[in-house]
Amino acid sequence: MKTEQTPKAILTHEVDQQLGKVVGNSFSLGSSLQSLHLIREKIHARHYQAHDKEDIIAELQQLNYQVQKLYSSMEALNHLLKD
């Protein structure tokens, strides 16, 4: 026998899931920011090297990807809350 969930229980579950995505995606930003910080420390210690450019660009692309995921999850939560 299947039990039916109330609209409030369904909404609670959906909000919980979306909040989890927002929090998880925000934590993912930390890794890219930490990598950029490490690159900055290396540059500070030994000066800018030609290969640093590729490292910086790669981390900026990763950070951009993480920011887009965070934005998308925030938009989904916002949309859910407006309905």
Cβ within 8 Å of residue 25, ≥6 positions away: 66, 69, 70, 73
Q: What angle do CA 58, 63, 65 make, to 5 degrees?
A: 95
**DSSP string of the chain, one letter each residue:** -PPPPPHHHHHHHHHHHHHHHHHHHHHHHHHHHHHHHHHHHHHHHH---TTHHHHHHHHHHHHHHHHHHHHHHHHHHHHHHH-
Whole-number pLDDT of residue 2: 63
**What pLDDT shows up at residue 83?**
76
pLDDT of residue 5: 87
The predicted model scores a pTM of 0.81
Residues 12-71 have pLDDT tens digits of 999 999 999 999 999 989 988 999 999 999 999 999 999 999 999 999 999 999 999 999
Domain regions of the chain by residue span: 25-82
Is 60 exceeded by the pLDDT of residue 1? no
pLDDT the model gives residue 4: 80
